[in-house]
Every structure is written in structure tokens, then in C-alpha cells.
């Protein structure tokens, strides 16, 4: 019998399921208006986030993107503050100041999920520089999409990490589209890994639907970074099931049968089948699924029961110290 | 007391803080060659890991300062000339100014971005900017604008020890002035504390950065005409010592704001607006701004120099305010 509590194999499934269930619930209540603002879902890309994060220690760092729900859950964040954030509550991980594009839990090493495409890349290089200067062996994982590789910030961050040999793993989650523009229309190279060649940076392209494959290339990259060998570029070939954002009232891009084709290689289905093949009992998997369902339901209840921030809290955390902000005139 | 120039004071603040705190480091373009003289002896003292030359990549290394600050270091970025902040606007505004807020107070970004305002020397429009007022429009950034060596030392030291991002705008027209400065390595000027550079009773001249020495000269000449001018240097624009400014204006009833930035939406505009909002009843006439004209800075020296605030323009504004006030009374 597999020891569930200590099993890395089952933890990968658990984290992928957490992301999937969390977003299924979020999308449903967003449709009813319970979550304000835009909701960019990660569904379909779970193996990319979990396969990379599972290799990291809690004190390793991570920088992510506007498609931010998957990354903190992959790195082990608790669900309650994340769901409360989506609902704009004071108990949210960002106290209701960030919302769906900024689910970032610093207690698990996150340094931000930023909604300006590519802007996390220099930050990740800087975190790597910080670790180097402080003399610790922490590494930084930086997520971004295929679209980000056209941004200047991406190239500047890659350049710094390469020239200073910083302990950073750049993970390009290539889901094929920059909002609605196919990669082929925005990226002149065939593979995102070709971008890394310009920086003389080791790179690997991996099946982003296969959590074990992602974990294997990530393990190599982390070992290199931790031992002073410098940065690595990983391209995870993956797919997002939803449009750029959900519940927009219109479809930005009709991708036809492509979505169903990709769903045949759903990362959770693939991994569940592999676990069953390797002898894990079906009821073990069912129990994990039930537990995750309950966790998400509990997070939603917590979020619903939580209070909204007060108007005064809109003035908190502009600075570390509380500077007087001139009162605005209300007419 | 030691006698230091403005640039030597900046060097001193950096040296002392790097000596005191091993998490402080300096990075920027051409530091090792000590391009402006603010890094003299730093490489020898601290090595090239902590005094780090960067590629020409402002958005990259200014963003990297944010990341490095978030993981526990205290970066000082020497961005050399202030126009070079523009390629890094994305990192300064979307990351550095906003991260603490967006993440509900989880992030801490103790970093300083230094840049000089290199104007008045025929360097044409792209190298002559005084852009601090643009950044005043972004919450989350503290802004200091020292006008002499003493203030530069005290303000920069406080900025390096501040747990917030601080932009330090260094006025090249003030570089050569020598001054006595305290040798106490803990001498600091708290951000948000303005200074009365000269007391007076007829008119308040609120002057920013390189505007301060001009205002002091103007005040001397005005005194000969029987006009007693009070010169106020806010020293930091965010936070702004509005209480000190209002106290002065309430005393004199007249105000001029001298600001090397372009006039439109300048620091002078904001200070003027705050005076009007809070001390309108004390004003005996309009508030006049002596700022840089809203055109670009041309290369040719004879047409560049008159566009900035000058001693003569300050005197003319002061005289106009005092005279028109007399006419009003008559």
C-alpha cells in the first residue's frame, strides 16, 4: 500500500487536482458575479506548474504571471486566503488588493504574480542576484508565457541571469497563444528554447502535459542552479482550455477542435492513469479527489464568510510606514 | 566636521552604509570606472560583487533591484542620468511602486534609485531631464531632491536605511559646492523634513533642488531692494513637508515656487495647489511658479539657459508679487 502522506507521487496529483477544482469553482461563481474583474484560468496547464514547483523547497522563490491561480497552489499555498482574495475579501492573501491576476503567497516563496507581461523576468533575475549576494542556495523559478518572449523585459532579465550566472530557472509555459495571437505570428523562432541560445543558456523543451517529464527536467535545472551552474530555460509545451479569460461574454478566438484534441491529453487524466498502472489503488485516488473537493468547498465557505476590506484599508501598504495621504475630496 | 562636495557626500553615504550593513550593494552602469565620481574607492573597499557594473539594460537591472530587495538585500541603483529611468518605467511603476500594495503588504522593497539631472550643459533634450514630478504622480515612491552636500549626505543615508523604494534626484548644478558635513556615521535627515534655508517676512520662495542656490542668490539681491524673502527647501517631495511650507506662507502671505522641472504638472504645480487648498485665506496675491518652460531643451547654449529658472526670473516674480500687492492696497 502506498504511503499517501509521504508520497511525492500522490502530492503531484493532489496539487494538480487542487488547481483544477479551485478553478472550476471560481469560474462558476465568477459567471454569477461573485468574483469581480477578469478571471484568467490555468486549467490544462497544471502539470507545468506542479512539475516544476514540486522540485522546489518552500524557501525557494517563484515569480509568476497574470494567469496566477495555478502557481501558488502548485508551490503549496493554502487555499483559503487564495479563494478569499478572488472574492475581494480582507482575509485574502493580498487583503483584497490584488485579486485574480495577483495570487501570490510570499509564505511559500512567491515574489509576485505580475500582470504586465514579461515584467517578472527581471525581478526573478534580481531574486537570483540577491541569493547569490547573501550566499544562500535558494533558487528562483520564473514563469511566463510564449507571448512574453517578445518583451524587452524578458530579454533583459535573461541577459542578466546569463551574464551573472544566477540561480534562476526560466519556465516558458508555451500554451500556443499570446491572448488571441498564435505563437507562430509573434515568435520568429520555431521553439521557445531557441530564445535561450542567444544567451548561451542551457535549455530543455518538455511535454508540459506530463508532470513527471516536467519534474525530471526541472530537477536537472534546479541542481545546476543550486550548485552555482547558472540559469536554465525550460519550455513546457502545454495548453489552456479556456479562452484568454473566462466569462467574457464573447469568444476572442475560436480554436475549433483543437481544444478537444488537447483535452485527450489532459495532464490530470494522464497522470491518474499512470498512477493506476503503477499499482496505486483506485480508492486511494478517489479519496484524494474527495479531500481536495472538501478543501475547495471549505476555502469557498471561508471566503464567503469573510468581511470585505474597509475603505480605510485602501490607504494601507502604499508604504511600509503609514504616510499621511491627503484626503480626497468627496462631492 | 568634514568639508565635502555634493558628489563626495553621495560617495560618503554609500561608503558608510555599505560598511555598516553587508546587505547594501551598489549596481549601475560604469561604476567601476567611477564615471561621475560617486564611487571613489568603493570597488577597492567592497569588491566587484557588491559594486557591480551592469550591462546597459535599465529595465533589467532596475527590475533586478526589486527582486534583490524582496529577498533581503538593500540595493542602491546608480542609474547615472535621469533620462535613463525611462526605459525602466515599467519596473519602477508596475513593480517597484506597486508590489507592496498589490500583495497586501507581503513585499518589502528597500531600494534606492539614484540618478542625476544633468541639465544646462548643452546635452540636448534627451540628456537634460528633471523628471521627479512625473514620479510624484505614482503612489508608493519616496522622492528626495537634495540641493547641497549636507542634505545629500543626510537624505541619502536615510533613504538607504528606508524600507521603501526611494528615488534620489541629484542636481548636477549643485555638484561642485563644498560644505561642512557632520562626521557622525549615523547623521541622517528624515525624509519629509523640509528646511528653512533663510528666514524672511515678505515672501516665501519654495525652491527645489538646483532652484535653491538660485533662490538664495535672489533673496540676497531682494534684500537690497528692501524685500525680505524666506527660502524653503522641501528636500523631499514625497513625503512633502507641507506643514513647513504653509507655516511660511501664512507668515508672509506671498509665495513663489522655483522648480527646475517643466512647468506643466510640476512639483511647483502640486505645491501651489496645496497652498491654495490649505492657506488661501493667507494669500495676498497669486502664487507664481518659476519653472522650466514647456518646450524641449535645445542644444545651443544661448537658447537653452534662459528656459530654466534663473536668479533674474525669481527676482522679477518676487518684485511683481510685492508691487502688485501694494497697488491692491492703495
CATH of the domain at B114: 3.40.50.970
Percent of chain A clearing pLDDT 90 (strictly above): 91
Distance from C-alpha of B35 to C-alpha of B118, rounded to nearest angstrom: 13
Name the phi and psi angles at A320, rounded to 5: -65, -45
- Please answer yes or no on whether A114 and B142 come within 8 Å at the CB atom: no
What sign has the CA pseudo-torsion B211, B149, B27, B14?
Answer: negative
Beta-carbon separation of A126 and B57 below 8 A: no
Do B175 and B87 fall into the same domain? yes
CA distance B316 to chain A (A): 33
The residue among A101, A122, A164, A170 with the most chain B CBs within 10 A of its CB, best to mutate, is: A122
Summarised one tens digit per residue, pLDDT across range A52-67 is 999 999 999 999 999 9
Paired strand residues for A141? A62, A169
Q: CA B235 → CA A67, A103, B206, distances in Å?
A: 42, 38, 10
Q: What is the pLDDT of residue B274?
A: 97
CB A215 within 8 A of CB A152: no
Q: Is residue B189 part of a domain?
A: no
In the DSSP assignment, the letter for residue A107 is: G
**Chain B contact set for A323 (CB, 8 A):** 192, 238-239
Chain A: residue nearest B47 by CA?
A: A133
Contact A114 B139 (CB under 8 A): no
| pLDDT the model gives residue B66 | 98
Residue A2's pLDDT band, with cuts at 50, 70 and 90, is: very low
Q: What is the average pLDDT score of chain A?
A: 94
Answer whether the bond into residue B239 is a cis peptide, omega within 30°: yes
B186 within some domain: no
Mean pLDDT of A25-31: 97
Look at residues A105, A99, A72, A104 and name the one whose alpha carbon lies nearest to residue A84.
Answer: A99
The domain spanning residue B295 has which CATH number? 3.40.50.920
B202 and B131 within one domain? no
Q: Do B66 and A61 touch (CB under 8 A)?
A: no
8 Å CB contact of A97 and B100: no
Kindly report, residue by residue over A172-221, the tens digit of the pLDDT: 999 999 999 999 999 999 999 999 999 999 999 999 999 999 999 999 99
CB atoms B101 and A116 under 8 Å? no
- On whether both B167 and B287 belong to a single domain, the answer is no
**Residues 6 or more apart whose Cβ sits within 8 Å of residue B225:** B319
CA distance B326 to chain A (A): 34
Mean pLDDT of chain B: 96
Q: What is the pLDDT of residue A323?
A: 74
Task: Show the DSSP H helices in chain B as ranges.
Answer: 6-20, 42-50, 58-70, 89, 99-102, 132-136, 149-161, 211-224, 242-252, 267-279, 301-304, 311-329
Q: What is the DSSP code (8-state) at residue A221? A: H
Catalytic site includes residue B278: no
For chain A, the domains span 8-315
| Sign of the torsion angle spanned by Cα atoms B294, B299, B300, B305 | positive
Which one of B65, B107, B139 has the shortest CB-CB distance to A112? B107
Look up residue A288 and give its three cell numbers: 484524494
Residues B86 and B34 in one domain: yes
3-state class (DSSP) for residue A111: strand
> Are the CB atoms for B256 and B314 separated by under 8 Å?
yes
Q: What is the ipTM of this complex?
A: 0.95
Burial of A258 (0-12, 13-18, 19+ CB in 10 A): exposed
Q: What is the pLDDT of residue A175?
A: 93
In this predicted structure, which of A1-15, A127-141, B188-202 has the lowest mean pLDDT? A1-15
Please indicate, yes or no, whether residues B207 and B165 belong to a single structural domain of this protein: no
B270 φ/ψ sector (left φ>0, alpha ψ -120 to 50, else beta):
alpha
Is residue B267 pLDDT above 60, yes or no?
yes
- Contact indicator for A244, A177 with CB cutoff of 8 Å: yes
Beta bridge partners of A59: none
Give per-residue pLDDT as tens, B174-212: 999 999 999 999 999 999 999 999 999 999 999 999 999
Q: How far is CA B11 from CA A41, A113, B55, B191, in A?
A: 49, 36, 22, 19
Question: Among partner residues B67, B100, B238, which is closest to A126 by beta-carbon distance?
Answer: B67
Q: How many CB atoms lie within 10 A of CB A34?
A: 15
Separation CA A38–CA A30 (nearest Å): 9
Q: Given pLDDT bands bounded at 50, 70 and 90, which one contains residue B324?
A: confident
B18: in domain: yes
pLDDT of A73-82, one tens digit each?
Answer: 999 999 999 9
Looking at B181, B207, B239, which one is the last position of a domain? B181
pLDDT in tens, B42-97: 999 999 999 999 999 999 999 999 999 999 999 999 999 999 999 999 999 999 99
The shortest C-alpha distance from B54 to chain A (Å) reads 8
Contacts of A279 (CB under 8 A, 6+ apart): A2
Which residue from B153, B149, B116 is spatially nearest to B132, judged by alpha carbons?
B116
Query: Which candidate from A97, A104, A130 shows the least CB-CB separation from B71?
Result: A130
Residue B188 in domain? no
The Cα of A114 is separated from the nearest Cα of chain B by a number of Å equal to 8
Distance (Å, whole) CA A177 – CA A251: 14
Q: Is the pLDDT of residue A5 over 90?
A: no
Which of B54, B63, B101 is opposite residue A317, by nearest beta carbon? Answer: B101
CA–CA dist B101, A82 (Å, integer):
16
- Specify whether B176 is located in the same domain as B206: no
Alpha-carbon torsion (B75, B81, B82, B83), positive or negative: negative
**Residue B104 is assigned to a structural domain of this protein:** yes
Q: Please check whether residue B325 lies inside any domain of the structure.
A: yes
Q: Residue B150 pLDDT > 60, yes or no?
A: yes
Mean predicted confidence (pLDDT) in B291-314? 97
φ, ψ of residue B224 to 5 degrees: the values are -65, -30
Are residues B107 and B143 located together in one domain of the fold? yes
Selected catalytic residue, list B127, B262, B278, B296: B127
Note the pLDDT of residue A1.
37
Domain-located, residue B224: yes
Nearest to A130 among B62, B68, B238 (CB): B68
Contact criterion met (CB < 8 Å) for A112 and B90: no
Q: How is residue A162 written as a grid cell?
A: 546569463
The mean per-residue pLDDT over the stretch A264-286 comes to: 97
Number of domains making up chain B: 2
Per-residue pLDDT at A328 exceeds 60: no
Q: Identify the pLDDT of residue B175.
A: 95
- Residues spanned by the domain of B61: 2-181
For A178, the 3-state DSSP assignment is strand
3-state secondary structure A52-70: HHCCCCCCCEEEEECCCCH
**Does B297 fall in a domain?**
yes
For Cα atoms A217, A41, A105, give the angle at the middle one, nearest 5 degrees: 70
pTM over 0.90: yes
Q: How many CB pairs under 8 A join A and B?
A: 160
Mutation target among A87, A101, A123, A131 for the B interface, most CBs of B within 10 A: A123
Q: Is the CB of B104 less than 8 angstroms away from the CB of A131?
A: no
Q: What angle do CA A30, A31, A33 make, to 5 degrees?
A: 60
A8-315: CATH topology is Rossmann fold (3.40.50)
Residues of A in contact with B59 (CB under 8 A): 122, 152-153, 156
CA distance A320 to chain B (A): 6
Burial readout A204-239 (b: 16 or more C-beta within 10 A, e: otherwise): bbbbbbbbebbbebbeebbebbeeeebbbbbbbbbb
Same domain for B203 and B55: no
Task: Give residue A132's pLDDT.
Answer: 98
Q: Cβ of A133 and B49 within 8 Å?
A: yes
Q: State which of B130, B147, B181 marks the end of a domain.
A: B181
Amino acid at each position: 500500500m502506498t504511503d499517501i502522506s509521504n508520497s511525492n507521487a500522490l502530492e503531484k496529483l493532489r496539487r494538480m487536482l487542487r488547481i483544477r477544482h479551485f478553478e472550476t469553482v471560481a469560474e462558476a461563481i465568477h459567471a454569477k458575479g461573485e468574483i469581480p474583474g477578469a478571471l484568467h484560468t490555468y486549467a490544462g496547464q497544471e502539470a507545468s506548474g506542479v512539475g516544476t514547483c514540486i522540485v522546489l523547497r518552500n524557501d525557494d522563490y517563484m515569480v509568476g504571471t497574470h494567469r496566477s491561480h495555478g502557481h501558488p497552489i502548485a508551490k503549496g499555498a493554502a487555499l483559503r486566503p487564495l479563494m478569499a482574495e478572488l472574492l475581494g475579501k480582507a482575509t485574502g492573501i493580498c487583503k483584497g488588493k490584488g485579486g485574480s491576476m495577483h495570487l501570490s503567497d510570499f509564505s511559500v516563496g512567491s515574489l509576485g504574480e505580475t500582470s504586465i507581461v514579461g515584467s517578472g523576468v527581471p525581478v526573478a533575475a534580481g531574486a537570483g542576484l540577491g541569493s547569490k549576494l547573501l550566499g544562500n542556495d535558494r533558487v528562483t523559478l520564473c514563469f511566463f508565457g510564449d507571448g512574453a518572449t517578445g518583451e524587452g523585459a524578458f530579454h533583459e532579465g535573461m541577459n542578466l541571469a546569463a551574464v551573472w550566472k544566477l540561480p534562476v530557472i526560466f519556465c516558458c509555459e508555451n500554451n500556443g497563444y499570446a491572448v488571441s495571437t498564435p505563437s507562430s505570428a509573434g515568435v520568429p523562432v520555431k521553439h521557445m528554447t531557441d530564445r535561450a541560445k542567444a544567451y548561451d543558456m542551457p535549455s530543455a523543451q518538455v511535454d508540459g502535459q506530463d508532470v513527471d517529464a516536467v519534474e525530471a527536467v526541472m530537477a536537472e535545472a534546479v541542481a545546476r542552479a543550486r550548485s552555482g551552474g547558472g540559469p536554465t530555460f525550460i519550455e513546457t509545451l502545454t495548453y489552456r482550455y479556456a479562452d484568454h479569460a473566462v466569462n467574457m461574454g464573447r469568444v476572442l478566438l475560436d480554436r475549433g477542435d483543437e481544444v478537444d484534441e488537447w483535452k485527450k491529453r489532459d495532464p490530470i487524466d494522464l497522470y491518474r492513469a499512470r498512477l493506476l498502472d503503477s499499482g496505486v489503488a483506485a480508492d486511494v485516488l478517489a479519496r484524494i479527489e474527495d479531500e481536495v473537493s472538501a478543501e475547495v468547498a471549505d476555502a469557498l465557505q471561508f471566503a464567503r464568510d469573510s468581511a470585505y476590506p474597509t475603505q480605510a484599508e485602501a490607504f494601507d501598504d502604499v508604504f511600509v510606514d503609514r504616510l499621511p495621504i491627503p484626503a480626497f475630496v468627496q462631492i | 566636521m568634514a568639508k565635502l562636495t555634493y558628489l563626495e557626500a553621495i560617495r560618503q553615504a554609500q561608503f558608510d552604509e555599505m560598511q555598516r550593513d553587508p546587505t547594501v550593494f551598489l549596481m549601475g552602469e560604469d561604476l567601476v570606472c567611477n564615471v561621475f565620481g560617486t564611487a571613489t574607492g568603493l570597488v577597492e573597499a567592497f569588491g566587484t560583487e557588491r559594486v557591480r557594473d551592469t550591462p546597459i539594460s535599465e529595465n533589467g537591472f532596475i527590475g533586478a533591484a526589486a527582486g534583490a530587495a524582496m529577498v533581503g538585500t538593500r540595493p542602491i541603483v546608480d542609474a547615472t542620468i535621469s533620462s535613463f529611468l525611462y526605459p525602466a518605467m515599467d519596473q519602477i511603476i508596475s513593480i517597484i511602486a506597486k508590489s507592496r500594495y498589490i500583495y497586501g503588504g507581503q513585499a518589502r522593497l528597500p531600494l534606492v534609485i539614484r540618478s542625476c539631472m544633468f541639465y544646462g550643459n548643452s546635452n540636448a533634450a534627451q540628456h537634460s531631464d528633471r523628471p521627479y514630478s512625473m514620479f510624484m504622480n505614482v503612489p508608493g515612491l519616496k522622492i528626495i531632491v537634495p540641493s547641497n552636500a549636507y542634505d545629500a549626505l543626510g537624505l541619502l543615508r536615510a533613504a538607504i536605511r528606508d524600507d521603501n523604494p526611494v528615488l534620489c534626484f541629484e542636481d548636477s548644478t549643485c555638484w561642485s559646492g563644498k560644505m561642512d558635513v557632520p562626521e557622525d556615521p549615523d547623521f541622517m535627515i528624515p525624509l519629509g523634513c523640509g528646511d528653512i534655508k533663510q528666514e524672511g517676512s515678505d515672501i516665501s520662495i519654495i525652491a527645489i533642488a538646483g532652484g535653491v542656490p538660485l533662490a538664495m542668490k535672489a533673496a540676497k539681491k531682494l534684500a537690497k531692494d528692501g524685500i525680505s524673502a524666506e527660502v524653503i527647501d522641501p528636500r523631499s517631495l514625497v513625503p512633502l513637508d507641507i506643514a513647513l511650507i504653509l507655516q511660511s506662507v501664512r507668515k508672509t502671505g506671498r509665495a513663489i515656487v522655483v522648480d527646475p522641472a517643466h512647468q506643466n504638472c510640476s512639483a511647483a504645480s502640486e505645491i501651489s495647489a496645496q497652498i491654495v487648498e490649505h492657506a488661501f485665506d493667507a494669500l495676498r496675491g497669486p502664487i507664481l511658479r518659476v519653472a522650466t518652460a514647456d518646450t524641449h531643451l535645445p542644444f545651443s547654449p544661448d537658447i537653452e539657459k534662459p528656459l530654466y529658472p534663473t536668479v533674474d526670473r525669481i527676482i522679477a516674480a518676487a518684485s511683481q508679487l510685492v508691487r502688485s500687492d501694494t497697488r491692491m492696497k492703495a
